[in-house]
Amino acid sequence: MDTKEIWDVIIIGGGPAGLTTGIYTSRQGLKTLLIEAHQLGGKVWGSHKIENFPGFPRGITGKDLMKRFIDQAERFGVEIKNETAVELVDFEDKKMVMTRAGIYETRTIVIATGIQKKKSSIPGEREYKGRGVSYCGICDGPLFKNKIMAVVGSGKEAVEEAMRLADFADKVYAIPGVEGYKENINDLKGILENEKIQVIKEAELESICGDDVVQYINLKNGNTDRLYVDGVFLILENVIISDMMNEAGIKTADDGCILVDKNQQTNIKGVFAAGDCTCSGMQVITAAGDGARAGISVIRYFKSLKKIEQSPSKLNKR
């Protein structure tokens, strides 16, 4: 992808908070990208009936309500991508969001990822991150040219990453877990026919080991106990959001909730958060309210940037 394209705002998360933010920012003319790894509408999508959202006296299904949010966001110009964000980087006036499909540049970020169940890391995952453990083939695949890699995951993204990494590696071990790959993956035939890819069936990743860098992985179940590899790409359906926030320098509470001020601003200038990820309200209506406040704050942030750019001191320097 072309990293020269710069978005005004990138929203991570497509539930009520993220979609509402997008409605506000895109309606104001800001170039808005929304990234959602799973189901647009978030956990609300599966709600049988919502009776406490204003305007629907007889109630409405979560699916129908979220469809209205999505339609409105798209009508105002929000671009939506079904990708998994794996890393955020702050360069003050510019930020970067890395997904498993590419790298996006933006001036502001709104985090609206909702609450995720606590997920334990695999033994060795945190210790070897950046030293053989990665979550993004596009980002780090070229570093492992002519090496041996393992790709762990059973979804569409894991299959795509294994195919992509086979272009660089001498060999790729594909480890989908005990249950195997999902049956509805279109590219599954390609991974099975690629001579560089070996699918390890009915095995689970138990630990990642080495000295200064990754050297091998231990498996449980299956017929293989240990594989010697140079890199491990964890392409699981859920990324540990709290780890991603902490690595980006975004302050969180002990329970993982993102800390924000009254304007949904985090401790990093130009980075906002809204909805359940801030642990406020935990209702569709409060998430939407947070999203609206975040959208308004982003708009004000851009207005303040324009004032700075047009200030006499800046003009005199030109």
For residue 297, report the phi and psi dihedrals to the nearest 5 degrees: -65, -40
The reply to whether 144 and 286 lie within a common domain is no
Is 121 within a domain?
A: no
* 122 located within any domain: no
Which residue shows structure tokens 């207005």?
303
Q: Say yes or no: 139 and 219 in one domain.
A: yes
Q: How many domains does the chain have?
A: 2
Taking phi over 0 as left and psi of -120 to 50 as alpha, with beta for the rest, 180 belongs to: left
Q: What are phi and psi of 64, to 5 degrees?
A: -65, -40
Distance CA 70, CA 78 (A): 9
| Rg of the chain taking only CA atoms, in angstroms | 21
Mark which of 234, 263, 284 sits at the end of a domain: 234
Residue 123 lies in a domain: no
234, 264, 296 — which closes off a domain? 234
Claim to verify: residue 249 and residue 218 sit in the same structural domain:
no
Residues 106 and 37 in one domain: yes
Residue 159 maps to a domain = yes
> For 284-310, what is the mean pLDDT?
88
Is residue 96 domain-shared with residue 25, that is, in the same domain? Answer: yes
- 126 domain-assigned: no
So what's the pLDDT on residue 317? 41
Whole-number pLDDT of residue 119: 57
Residues 260 and 182: their CA atoms lie apart, in Å, by: 38
Q: What is the mean pLDDT of the chain?
A: 87
**181 lies in the same domain as 156:** yes
Select from 197, 196, 216, 199 the least CA-distant residue to 208. 216
pLDDT for 311 equals 47
Statement to judge: residues 194 and 262 lie in one domain: no
CATH number at residue 139: 3.50.50.60
Domain membership flag for residue 111: yes
Query: Where a domain ends, among 199, 219, 234?
Result: 234
pTM, full prediction:
0.76
pLDDT for position 307: 62
Structural domain that includes position 163: 133-234
125 within a domain of the structure (yes/no): no
Q: Is residue 1 part of a domain?
A: no
Q: What tens digit of pLDDT does each residue of 133-186 get?
A: 988 887 788 889 999 999 998 888 888 889 989 998 999 999 998 888 876 676
Q: What number is the average pLDDT over the span 103-110?
A: 95
